[in-house]
């Protein structure tokens, strides 16, 4: 597993370069997929870089990517090890030119993510972790360990365009916010202690949390579904995630702060 880490970081950076080349173009090839989510030429270019590179790196390890057809469960349920990819998390942010999009690579073993790489092309920053190997942030070739950290006031990572009420209804606490696009980048700022919590209410795929989960857990936090149950990988026909919560330092006692059953009246 450790031997895969640096090659995966390199591939994520190469995919980021492919994304940024298209980011500068007038025509980014945006269209709507059959599930009504957006895709661009950058998503597909990053997917090509990642799949070709991972096939060369580990020819016998299957690949599950958001941008390729997902095999039926009966064909993949016995995979002991596979790559789980979101070639560009934050396609909507890419289209809106916010810069908040990322390349996600996870290695999953026995239905649990064990390696995660998240590259932020617009910032030139990479977050990475391996199971029991710690979590790190690489900037300008320098690695620094990252960890969750409690703050004086609960700080919630939120979308730039999300209505605060969509998540505040679940919190039994006052909070500050930090706005950022991309699910995986919001998870990363929790992992490095710049936010304490991220509540995702709405559709996502397993590729949105695979790499994040390793990084957050190795940084001392956790990711669960909205009922505080573990997320699952490659165990259902659907690869859609439930609503989930990224939690930072356990001193916050999140099960007391978050009420998943609360609804607006």
pTM: 0.95
Domain encompassing residue 120: 1-145
Q: How far apart are CA 79 and CA 76, in angstroms?
A: 5
- Does the structure show a pLDDT above 90 at 264? no
- Does the structure show a pLDDT above 50 at 155? yes
Q: Is 86 annotated as a binding residue?
A: yes
17 and 93 co-located in one domain: yes
Q: Domain boundary at 120, 145, 170, which?
A: 145
Q: Is 143 annotated as a binding residue?
A: no
What integer is the mean pLDDT of 10-25? 96
- Does the structure show a pLDDT above 50 at 22? yes
263 within domain boundaries: no
Q: Is 89 annotated as a binding residue?
A: yes
168 and 126 co-located in one domain: no
Q: Is 225 annotated as a binding residue?
A: no
What integer is the mean pLDDT of 124-139? 98
pLDDT range class, residue 261, cuts 50, 70, 90: low
89 and 166 co-located in one domain: no
162 and 83 co-located in one domain: no
Residue 82 neighbours by CB under 8 Å, 6+ apart: 61, 62, 63, 64, 76, 107, 108, 234
- Does the structure show a pLDDT above 70 at 262? no
Residue scoring higher pLDDT (246 or 176): 246
Residue 175 neighbours by CB under 8 Å, 6+ apart: 153, 154, 155, 156, 168, 197
What integer is the mean pLDDT of 164-184? 85
Amino acid 265: pLDDT? 36
């Amino acid at each position: 597993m450790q031997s895969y880490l640096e090659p995966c970081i390199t591939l994520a950076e190469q995919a980021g370069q492919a994304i940024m080349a298209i980011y500068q173009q007038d025509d980014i090839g945006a269209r709507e997929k059959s599930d009504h989510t957006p895709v661009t030429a950058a998503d597909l270019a990053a997917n090509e870089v990642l799949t070709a590179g991972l096939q060369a790196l580990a020819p016998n390890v299957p690949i599950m990517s958001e941008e390729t057809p997902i095999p039926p469960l009966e064909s993949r349920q016995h995979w002991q090890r596979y790559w789980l990819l979101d070639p560009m998390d934050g396609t909507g942010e890419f289209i809106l030119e916010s810069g908040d999009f990322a390349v996600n690579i996870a290695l999953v073993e026995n239905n649990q993510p064990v390696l995660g790489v998240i590259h932020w092309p617009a910032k030139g920053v990479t977050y990475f972790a391996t199971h029991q190997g710690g979590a790190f942030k690489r900037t300008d070739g320098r690695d620094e360990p990252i960890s969750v950290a409690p703050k004086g006031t609960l700080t919630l990572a939120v979308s730039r365009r999300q209505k605060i009420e969509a998540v505040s209804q679940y919190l039994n606490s006052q909070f500050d916010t930090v706005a950022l696009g991309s699910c995986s980048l919001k998870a990363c700022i929790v992992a490095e202690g710049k936010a304490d919590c991220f509540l995702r209410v709405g559709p996502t795929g397993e590729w949105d949390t695979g790499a994040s989960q390793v990084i957050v857990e190795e940084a001392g936090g956790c990711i669960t579904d909205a009922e505080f149950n573990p997320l699952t990988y490659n165990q259902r026909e659907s690869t859609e995630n439930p609503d989930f919560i990224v939690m930072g330092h356990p001193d916050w006692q999140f099960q007391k702060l978050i009420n998943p059953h609360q609804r607006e009246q």
